[in-house]
């Protein structure tokens, strides 16, 4: 190793100073810290084993690992069942590896020649030594070509049904993300240098944090993504003034204090997802969609779902509509005297709201005059990677586990969501926390993301079976309250917001669902993803949104001819709301004259942690 190359790919003379950070200066200190790190790793192992030895916690890995092995076995069977195909796979891999070797040798032999790097850019390999150091450069290239080869093996495997191929692609991404050389001390130049510089002190602290996170997870690893000590709900998060004015078995209804002398006559009801807590829309005064709506003259009501336990096991979608959405509508009428509201549903809260609208249409109830859906799927044909976790066999197993407790623990859904973007939401924090030994930085969004909720067994089972598995709402086959629902019966105006980079409710899926309603639908596409594309205050001047009339035809064609507008979609939505009814009345106080305040916002439900 007598030469290196610069960022352009051209070789330069070897500089001994570049090797100095990799030379161990104090072997004794490193050995002592390695022993201390192993001691902390032992504590982590004990924290993991203890609840399993006592029978308090089943092995969470056996079922998903078995499902992964079974799925990937079908891919391997295709390539290994025919000698010609086996040879084809091996030849493709060897050619790719030979290309890496050939480029490496050329750089050594002709250091002044610029060598084109055909491999994709990857932010995991942003440290300059991934390219200028021949050892790490070879690791980077080999990993990338192996990943490409593995993807090719899955995508070109014959005899797989659509669902099996989808699962195989997902599992392969998890495997390749986990095996990245960026995730190991000896194969990551930055980690290697930091370990040498601190004589392994980073690993001592990292393994201590590893043990703490397993203990905090009750035997499961709960990777900390932010400094949770810097946030407190009701103190510096979810602090928009308001009152809880009603509560049922499954929710609280919050009304927020007015900040304008007059308000829109038609109140606004927000139905958030029960999979997460509502305060994503009220993180802090600068990011709060709720506060912004209040400041525009809206009388805002929010459903705050209970964090369910065994008492709520049989609460299904009908209960969440009757004791949640309908209960909130009755509360609003008591507090304001208004029979009609504008409603917002976010994510699965929007799917529930859409089902409620279809049920109301059959019951001739016209309480909701318009609906806004944030990143909401009503057709799950293109529902993305979450469909990997839903088939009859996996659902049956999940329902058996939920029967034991009456709910699904929130950490299980949080882990599934993180796996959708493992290279961004799992491994960077694994490296930062446990290998670098650094505390994560404070980030309100990630604090909210870690503040997970349980899911009532009947509710979650109905959702997964009727939406992800059987897609009944889009087909007019969903049954609630003894009625078969059709979205064509929903004729009120709808503002349907999708986000372009959404990995939970893909924009194409939201687009397709727009055509199922029986009334006018304003489809709007926002920049960024599932959260940032929604929580995008106008004064931040971030991202953009696209409009192009109704969601008809092909999604890609719609996007190609859409009008792009810089900044937040919030003012566009407010204009739409006022175009439906801009009548104003004097500002209202929470509860009006009919209801007394039960508690200050954000209420008690949102404070319950799992």
Active site residues: 347
- Taking the C-alpha atoms of residue 496 and residue 526, their distance in angstroms, rounded to an integer, is 11
For residue 126, the tally of other CB atoms under 10 A from its CB is 11
- Taking the C-alpha atoms of residue 464 and residue 445, their distance in angstroms, rounded to an integer, is 26
DSSP, res 434: I
- What are φ and ψ of residue 383, in 5° steps? -80, 0
Tokens of 498: 């999708």
- Helices (H) and strands (E) counted in the chain, each on its own, are 21, 19
- Taking the C-alpha atoms of residue 388 and residue 3, their distance in angstroms, rounded to an integer, is 47
- Cβ atoms of 420 and 514 closer than 8 Å: no
- Taking the C-alpha atoms of residue 331 and residue 350, their distance in angstroms, rounded to an integer, is 20
To the nearest 10°, the Cα dihedral for 158, 161, 166, 168? -50
Query: Which residues, 6 or more positions from 205, have their beta carbon under 8 angstroms from its beta carbon?
Result: 437
- Taking the C-alpha atoms of residue 486 and residue 137, their distance in angstroms, rounded to an integer, is 57
Q: Is the peptide bond before 602 cis (omega within 30 degrees of 0)?
A: yes
- What are φ and ψ of residue 559, in 5° steps? -65, -40
DSSP, res 464: I
- What are φ and ψ of residue 5, in 5° steps? -135, 155
**Quick one: how far is CA 581 from the chain centroid?**
35
Q: Please, how many CA atoms are within 13 Å of residue 570, restricted to the half-sphere of its CB?
A: 25
HEC profile for 312-369?
HCCCCHHHHHHHHHHHHHHHHHHHHCCCCEEEEEECHHHHHHHHHHHHHHHCCCCCEE
- Taking the C-alpha atoms of residue 602 and residue 238, their distance in angstroms, rounded to an integer, is 6
List 371's β-bridge partners, or say none: 343, 494
For residue 426, give Cα distances in angstroms to 95, 228, 384, 443: 32, 17, 19, 15
Query: DSSP string of 492-513?
Result: S-EEEEEETT-SSS-HHHHHHH
Buried b / exposed e over 553-590, threshold 16 CB at 10 Å, is eebeebbeebeeeebbbbebbbebbbeeeeeeeeebeb
- Taking the C-alpha atoms of residue 76 and residue 69, their distance in angstroms, rounded to an integer, is 10
């Amino acid at each position: 190793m007598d030469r290196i190359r610069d960022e352009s790919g051209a070789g330069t003379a070897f500089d001994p100073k570049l090797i100095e950070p990799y030379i161990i200066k104090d072997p004794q200190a490193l050995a002592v810290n390695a022993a201390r790190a192993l001691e902390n790793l032992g504590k982590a192992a004990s924290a993991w084993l203890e609840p399993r030895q006592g029978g308090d916690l089943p092995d969470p890995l056996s079922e998903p690992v078995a499902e992964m092995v079974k799925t990937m076995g079908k891919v391997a069977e295709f390539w290994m069942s025919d000698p010609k195909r086996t040879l084809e796979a091996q030849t493709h891999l060897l050619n790719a590896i030979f290309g890496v070797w050939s480029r490496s040798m050329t750089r050594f032999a002709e250091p002044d020649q610029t060598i084109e790097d055909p491999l994709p850019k990857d932010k995991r390999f942003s440290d300059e030594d991934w390219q200028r150091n021949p050892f790490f450069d070879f690791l980077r290239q080999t990993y990338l070509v192996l990943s490409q080869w593995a993807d090719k093996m899955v995508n070109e495997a014959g005899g797989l049904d659509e669902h099996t191929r989808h699962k195989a692609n997902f599992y392969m991404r998890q495997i390749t993300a986990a095996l990245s050389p960026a995730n190991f001390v000896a194969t990551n130049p930055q980690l290697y240098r930091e370990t040498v510089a601190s004589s392994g002190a980073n690993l001592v602290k990292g393994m201590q944090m590893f043990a703490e996170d397993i203990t905090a997870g009750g035997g499961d690893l709960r990777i900390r993504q932010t400094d949770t000590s810097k946030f407190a709900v009701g103190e510096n998060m979810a602090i928009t003034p308001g009152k809880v004015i009603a509560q049922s078995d499954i929710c609280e209804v919050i009304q927020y204090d007015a900040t304008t002398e007059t308000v829109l006559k038609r109140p606004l009801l927000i139905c958030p997802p029960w999979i997460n807590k509502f305060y994503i829309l009220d993180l802090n005064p600068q990011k709060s969609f709720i506060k912004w709506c209040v400041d525009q003259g809206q009388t805002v009501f929010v459903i705050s779902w209970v964090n369910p336990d065994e008492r709520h096991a049989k609460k299904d979608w009908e209960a969440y509509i009757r004791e949640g959405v309908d209960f909130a509508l009755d509360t609003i009428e008591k507090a304001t005297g208004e029979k009609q509201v504008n409603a917002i549903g976010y994510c699965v809260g929007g799917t529930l709201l859409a089902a409620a609208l279809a049920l109301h249409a059959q019951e001739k109830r016209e309480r909701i005059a318009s609906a806004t859906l944030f990143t909401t799927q009503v057709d799950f044909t293109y529902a993305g990677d979450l469909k990997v976790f839903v088939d009859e066999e996996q659902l049956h197993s999940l329902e058996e586990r939920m029967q034991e407790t009456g709910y699904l623990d929130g950490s299980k859904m949080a882990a599934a969501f993180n796996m959708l973007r493992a290279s961004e939401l799992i491994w960077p924090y694994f490296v930062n926390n446990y290998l670098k030994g650094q505390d994560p930085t404070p980030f309100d969004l990630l604090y909210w993301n870690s503040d997970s909720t349980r899911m009532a067994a009947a509710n979650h089972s109905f959702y997964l079976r009727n939406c992800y598995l059987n897609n009944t709402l889009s087909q007019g086959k969903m049954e609630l309250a003894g009625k078969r629902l059709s979205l064509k019966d929903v004729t009120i105006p709808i503002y349907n917001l999708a986000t372009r980079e959404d990995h939970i409710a893909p924009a194409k899926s939201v687009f397709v669902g727009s055509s199922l309603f029986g009334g006018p639908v304003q489809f709007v596409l926002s920049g960024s993803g599932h959260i940032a594309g929604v929580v995008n205050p106008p004064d931040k001047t971030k991202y953009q949104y696209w409009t192009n009339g109704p969601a008809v035809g092909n999604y890609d064609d719609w996007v190609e001819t859409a009008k792009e507008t810089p900044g937040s979609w919030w003012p566009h939505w407010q204009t739409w709301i006022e175009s439906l009814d801009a009548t104003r009345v004097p500002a209202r106080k929470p509860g009006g004259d009919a209801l007394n305040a039960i508690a200050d916002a954000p209420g008690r439900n949102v404070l319950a942690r799992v």
